[in-house]
Amino acid sequence: MNMGKLFIILGIAFILIGIIWTFIGKLPGDISFKRGNFSFHFPIMTSIVVSIILSLIFYLLGKFR
Q: Is residue 33 domain-resident?
A: yes
Say what the pLDDT of residue 38 is. Answer: 92
Q: Is residue 8 domain-resident?
A: no
Q: Is residue 41 domain-resident?
A: yes
Q: Give the range of the structural domain holding residue 38, as residue numbers without chain letter.
A: 16-64
Q: Is residue 30 domain-resident?
A: yes
Distance CA 47, CA 49 (A): 5
Q: Is residue 3 domain-resident?
A: no
Distance CA 9, CA 15 (A): 10
Helix (H, G, I), strand (E, B) or coil at 41: strand
Task: Give the pLDDT confidence of 7-47 residue by residue, as tens digits.
Answer: 888 888 888 878 877 777 677 778 888 999 998 888 888 78
Say what the pLDDT of residue 5 is. Answer: 82
Domains contained in the chain, number: 1
Q: Is the pLDDT of residue 3 over 70?
A: yes
Q: Is the pLDDT of residue 1 over 80?
A: no
